[in-house]
Amino acid sequence: MTAHDEDSGAPLCLVTGATGYIGGRLVPELLAAGHRVRCLARSPGRLRDHPWAGRAEVVRGDVTDAASVAEAMQGVDVAYYLVHALGTGDGFEATDRRAARIFGERARAAGVRRVVYLGGLTPAYVPERELSPHLRSRAEVGRILLASGVPTTVLRAAVVIGSGSASFEMLRYLTERLPVMVTPSWVRTRIQPVAVRDVLRALVGSARMPADVNRAFDIGGPDVLTYRDMMVRYAAVAELPRRLILPVPMLSPGLSSHWVGLVTPVPASIARPLTESLRHEVVCREHDIARYVPDPPGHPVGFDEAVRLALQRVRDAQVTTRWSSASLPGAPSDPLPTDPDWAGGSLYTDHRELTVDASREALWRVIEGIGGENGWYSFPLAWAVRGGLDRLAGGVGLRRGRRDAARLRVGDSLDFWRVEEIEPGRLLRLRAEMRLPGLAWLEMYAEPDGDGRARYRQRALFHPHGLLGQAYWWGVSPFHAVVFGGMARNIVRAAEARSPAPTAPVA
């Protein structure tokens, strides 16, 4: 049984762009509001790791393919249009235009009750032909859907503040990596950013608008800021030193996008249209959306609080393979498996993996016994020096040792580490408590490898804090082969010494 069949009385919402930043976060909000959800995706497999995957129907299709759109629209009450061709090349305006027409036509033919579209906030005083191609296309898509014959809600937002949003990630990397910035003149442009939570609230609420509403609404937060203001306030929330920002007039949008590409991992195909759009002032002219989607207490969320929420995942210290698969998301600010690799800030890793000619149990005894009198299985002088430097800097050093020589539990201190997570027999995760310009973890896994043998996996992870954190990682990385490589090899040897090599099964 699919999610479509479970409760035929609830409204059915079609969400396009569910593998994108907004769409992936909208689906669980719609489900929580009592809607049924169907997702239209070119690659349905990309959605299988979302925690809501078993509660939403997923169909294969593309908004430029009329047949697949028509099929996906069957039985739909509200259709969300959350796709655009940004980053696909110079022809993205034509692609957006064609897709919007198909979507509107098929929605009308299927008897869809409402279309909801998230577009871009545009300045009132600039003729549409003079807008950046990105904003011009978003405005055109809105007009096409409003003229489709289906009651349509167009929500127009400027910079969306949330981890994973391309605009926010650009702001994050520029601020964190450059304590002194020679910037384009667009840093003086006034912008009204909006928290992703408020965007999602408006999207969900739009599903229940009266049938006679067919118009665009501006949505924004309570703060009107320049891009420079946003960088300064981001630095303050992230507890970075104050940034020195020096605007210069000669950086064109094209040069700006190359500059952003050098400093940040945001792809140039996305950075360029975003930087081109920043030359326009984008400030809300009305707040009429509140007539249909009332502001609850505490909303809209202010810029500083939105940044704090976007950074919360790092401060909660939840780490697995990368920020965008850190744990099952429970809030709009949480990462999703479909977020791009460059979302969520920098996370550097040193990964080691070795086969062990010993049992998994023997390997786990070595892992759980690490630290204290047993040491760290590599280059003792390096660990002693690091502990001494930490003491000089006011840190805990290596003097704490461990509570029990053989057993660990969550919360135990372990030299200058703290046990953050332990899965007996499988995983030990330690969080660094030494003085560092960032957050660091060390993970050690004991896993089966067949024929009674084990496999040892080890990861050191570091989330840098500002430019000093970046410099720290690259400064110590040449020593990782000795310290972490030696640790992995010696842990394996110790496990093999404790357990005889397994014998091969008799044929």
Q: Which CATH number fits domain 3-325: 3.40.50.720, 3.30.70.260, 3.40.50.150, 2.40.260.10?
A: 3.40.50.720
Please give the pLDDT value at position 319. 39
CB proximity list for 418: less than 8 A, separation 6 or greater: 411, 412, 430, 431, 433
- Domain boundaries, given as residue ranges, for the chain: 3-325, 348-498
H helix or E strand, kind and range, residue 448 = strand 438-450
Amino acid identity for residue 91 in this structure = G
Please give the pLDDT value at position 302. 93
The 3-state DSSP class for residue 438 equals strand
25 closest CA partner among 318, 338, 344, 271:
338
Please give the pLDDT value at position 370. 87
The DSSP string of 281-306 is -B--S--GGGGTSPPPTT-SPPHHHH
Please give the pLDDT value at position 166. 81
Question: What's the longest Cα–Cα distance across the chain?
Answer: 83
Please give the pLDDT value at position 504. 46
Residues of the chain with pLDDT under 70: 1-8, 85-90, 182-183, 186, 248-273, 275-276, 313-346, 381-384, 386-401, 500-507
Residue 239 gets the label, from left (phi > 0), alpha (psi -120 to 50) or beta, of left
Please give the pLDDT value at position 101. 95
Please give the pLDDT value at position 457. 93
Is the domain 348-498 a CATH 3.30.530.20 member? yes
Please give the pLDDT value at position 134. 79
E strands, 121-183, in order: 152-157, 160-161, 180-183
Please give the pLDDT value at position 392. 67
The 3-state DSSP class for residue 353 equals strand
Count CA atoms within 13 Å of residue 44 on its CB side. Answer: 11
Please give the pLDDT value at position 343. 54
